[in-house]
């Protein structure tokens, strides 16, 4: 089974509570992430993995009210959160997306999954090197690779960020990367700062079609070049 596990938490150091920030009148950041991913033609299950801390109860209750499947696990050891979640549902392929990417592009997600499946890699991303915009980050890996990383790494950085053990050890894992001919890595709509949130709100309220795709966003920015000035200092 191909499962997308969305990593989310309320305790962001740069923008606390961003997971539950409203983007439109009736949808929050986490709602957008899930909604965009539902347009994937390959993902079979979507789960939001959140910490088991009191601070994250508000996210859990919101997702429960939306009938979105959740898993609760370690706050700091996110690698363990992913491993236990994937093991709990017997998922053989895991797609990792983070909740600070509400405009994740399902077509890009499917490209990364397709490369993973067709080439039988252990790990595939679209970030090593990066040619896609910030906010479209997608990682796909096998449960066996996840279990190997979970068993072997003792590094706190690896445990917090889930996947570094893969690309730091190319001798242990077969690794692939999806690139595109035109480098669009100068664009950025991930949410780390309040300026990012305001940009995403503008995009979400000015592009009506669903899903919102990367080219839709770039076309909007081309027509409104001042948009990127809101967050260009963080690129």
Each domain of the chain, given as residue ranges in start order, spans: 2-234
Read off φ and ψ for residue 17, nearest 5 degrees.
80, 10
Find out whether 34 and 57 touch, Cβ atoms under 8 Å. no
Read off φ and ψ for residue 158, nearest 5 degrees.
-60, -40
Distance from C-alpha of 139 to C-alpha of 98, rounded to nearest angstrom? 10
Q: In CATH, which superfamily holds the domain spanning 2-234?
A: Spore Coat Polysaccharide Biosynthesis Protein SpsA; Chain A (3.90.550.10)
Each residue's pLDDT expressed in tens, for the chain with a length of 235 residues = 999 999 999 987 788 899 999 999 999 999 999 999 999 999 999 999 999 999 999 999 999 999 999 999 999 999 999 999 999 999 999 999 999 999 999 999 999 999 999 998 999 999 999 999 999 999 999 999 999 999 999 999 999 999 999 999 999 999 999 999 999 999 999 999 999 999 999 999 999 999 999 999 999 999 988 887 655 545 5
Find out whether 113 and 191 touch, Cβ atoms under 8 Å. no
| Global pTM value | 0.95
**Nearest by Cα to 62 from 48, 81, 44:** 48
CA atoms within 13 A on the CB side of 201: 16
> What are the distances in angstroms from CA 4 to CA 26, 37, 86, 95, 230?
24, 8, 10, 4, 30
Find out whether 103 and 33 touch, Cβ atoms under 8 Å. no
**Nearest by Cα to 140 from 126, 154, 130:** 126
Instruction: Kindly give, in sequence order, each residue whose CB lies less than 8 Å from that of residue 158, ignoring residues fewer than 6 positions away.
Output: 79, 149, 164, 165, 168
């Amino acid at each position: 089974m191909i499962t997308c596990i969305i990593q989310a938490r309320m305790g962001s150091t740069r923008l606390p509570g961003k997971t539950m920030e409203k983007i439109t009148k009736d949808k929050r950041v986490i709602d957008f992430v899930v909604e965009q991913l539902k347009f994937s033609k390959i993902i079979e299950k979507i789960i939001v993995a959140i910490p088991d801390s009191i601070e994250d109860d508000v996210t859990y209750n919101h997702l429960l009210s939306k009938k979105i499947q959740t898993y609760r696990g370690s706050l700091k050891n996110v690698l363990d959160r992913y491993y236990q979640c994937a093991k709990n549902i017997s998922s053989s392929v895991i797609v990792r997306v983070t909740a600070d990417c509400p405009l994740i592009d399902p077509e890009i997600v499917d490209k990364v999954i397709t490369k993973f499946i067709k080439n039988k890699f252990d790990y595939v991303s679209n970030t090593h090197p990066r040619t896609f915009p910030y906010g479209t980050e997608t990682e796909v890996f096998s449960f066996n690779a996840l279990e190997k990383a979970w068993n072997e790494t003792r590094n706190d950085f690896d445990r917090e960020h889930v996947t570094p053990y893969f690309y730091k050890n190319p001798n242990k894992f077969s690794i692939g990367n999806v690139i595109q001919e035109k480098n669009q890595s100068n664009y950025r709509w991930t949410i780390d700062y309040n300026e990012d949130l305001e940009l995403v709100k503008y995009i979400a309220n000015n592009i009506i079609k669903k899903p919102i795709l990367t080219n839709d966003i770039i076309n909007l920015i081309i027509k409104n070049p001042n948009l990127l000035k809101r967050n260009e200092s963080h690129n």
